[in-house]
A and B are shown apart, each in its own frame.
Chain A
Amino acid sequence: MTMIKGYRRPDGKVGIRNHLLLLPTVVCANQVVNRIQQQVPGSVAIPHQHGCSQVGDDKERTHKVLVGMGKNPNVGAVLVVSLGCEVMNAEQIRDEIAETGKPVIWIDIQDEGGSVNTIKKGTEIAKELEQKIASIPYENISLSELIVGVKCGGSDATSGLCSNPALGRTSDMIIDKGGSIVMGETTEIIGAEHILAEKAVNEEVTKKLYDSIAKFETEIERMGVDMRGSNPSPGNIEGGLSSIEEKSLGCISKAGTAPLQGVVDFASEIPGKGFYFMDSPGNDIECVTGMAAAGIQLVCFTTGRGTPTGNPIVPVIKISGNEVMAKRMADNIDVDTSPVLQGKESLQQAGERIFKEIVSVASGELTKAEILGHQEFSISRIGISL
């Protein structure tokens, strides 16, 4: 049995990090949260642009992401900071996160009497929470408790030739050992959905997959735009990718060969073991955010053009197939699979190297993105600002 090291949470879930999360419920609380974070360097903050002037599904999505970030097992404790007059219901956010059994404290800027008081009180609470979670034991845990997000971004031709198929081998190894894989990016399976659909375990899953794609294509039609205005991106095109279909065909190999167990909504918890698809935008930061809010503990991210992308609470392992970029951006890339293209290594061997990296990172080793402090966070929206 392959073992990793992690933290067992009161609800039984396993985290591979032990973060203290500072969570603003609304954009108006960002500065206060950032100042608390400066006083408590071991904490992570998720400033964002939302939380007010939102209605319906759009409001629900922001709520779901904020709660999901707090519930993620990589988080040991949460400090929620609200303004007091926003659309988000801070009390409800606190209560839903507290269902996990982890410590959650909520403070409100209007109640506390302004920024200075809230920063002072928030800093004291954060330091107490930090001490509280510092005593949580670090245990040996089976890799079968790991849910790995697979993502690609800043793709070039090498992504489809080696880094994604190599990661596909790794995905098979994770699933063989009882773990789970989640792939996102609905816009980036367009043109390759028939291949993915063949793997679906039943008709319901197939239908949900096709419905997810239809929803995006209907929206593109409604707006009357050519998707290629943004996808493939200018960098994708310079790297040799000519169409969304070509990008998608290279993209899907990273999930490996396992059957598709289900299609989940953005930021929704993964209901079982094996391979799942998350209906989510192709945008790198929004997609990884959706995975983190779903409770994924680790993301494997392939890139040919190079990206520094990280996440505040989820380690992001960067994998490349482009030798020149991997050397030029060595401070961002964790695994270089380009020896495959030079005939020096098989896809299986490259996949095994990625697997070893996952085991190391899931046992405490920091990713390049973590070392550099990359904590990109962005909530996807489905409506207008009011």
Chain B
Amino acid sequence: METKEKTFGAGVSCIVMNQNDNVVTLLRSINKGEVLTFQIEDQTCTLTAKEDVAFGHKLALNQIKIGDTILKYGESIGIATTTIEEGEHVHVHNLIGVRGRGDQ
């Protein structure tokens, strides 16, 4: 699996687990307006956080439209329930899991 080969650089604030992902996972809590730098494959990318978000949570790498699949580790972790803008917090308020849903 892609995750197994991932390395973490010193002082890195966030990580993208797979090049196909549309979310980035935070390795520390960040504040609104902070500019994050990270690597996707060999490319250095930046993203501006649109809100304060806690350690371990995710931000959208680009705009994710309602109904789109959200990818982490290169795999589906659910679908967007609203349109999520680049740099916004991606969590249970705008992501819904599609498995284990006996209520649907």
Contacts and interface: CB of A to CB of B under 8 A. Distances in A.
B50 interface: no
A4 to B, nearest CB: 26
A240 B4 contact: no
A161 B100 CA distance: 23
Contacts of B6: 161, 165, 347
Contacts of A221: 102
Contact of A240 (B12, B56, B102): B56
Interface stretch (A36-44, A78-86, A188-196): A188-196
Interface of B: 1, 3-4, 6-12, 15, 17, 25-27, 54-58, 72-73, 75-78, 90-92, 95-104
B57 A157 contact: yes
Given A226-B103, A228-B100, A343 B76 contact: no
A224 B97 CA distance: 16
- Chain A binding site: helix, strand, loop or mixed by DSSP? helix
A239 B102 CA distance: 25
A188 to B, nearest CB: 10
Contact of B98 (A165, A245, A340): A245
B56 A246 contact: no
Contacts of A165: 3-4, 6
B25 A240 contact: yes
Given A158-B56, A342-B10, A343-B7, A242 B91 contact: yes
A346 B7 contact: yes
A195 B1 contact: yes
A223 to B, nearest CB: 6
Given A240-B26, A242-B78, 9 more contacts: A157-B57, A217-B99, A225-B102, A226-B102, A242-B97, A246-B77, A342-B10, A344-B10, A347-B6
A222 B102 contact: yes
Given A161-B25, A242-B77, A340-B8, A227 B58 contact: no
A304 interface: yes
A165 B7 CA distance: 11
15 contacts: A157-B55, A161-B25, A217-B102, A220-B100, A240-B25, A240-B56, A242-B58, A243-B99, A244-B99, A245-B98, A246-B97, A253-B1, A341-B27, A342-B11, A346-B7
A309 to B, nearest CB: 21
B78 A240 contact: no
A157 B102 contact: no
Nearest to A226: B103
A245 to B, nearest CB: 5
A184 interface: no
A242 B90 contact: yes
Contact of B78 (A156, A216, A243): A243
A191 B54 contact: no
Contacts of A246: 72, 77-78, 97
Contacts of B97: 191, 227-228, 242-246
Contacts of A161: 3, 6, 8, 15, 17, 25, 27
Interface in A213-242: 216-217, 220-228, 231, 237, 239-240, 242
B56 A343 contact: no
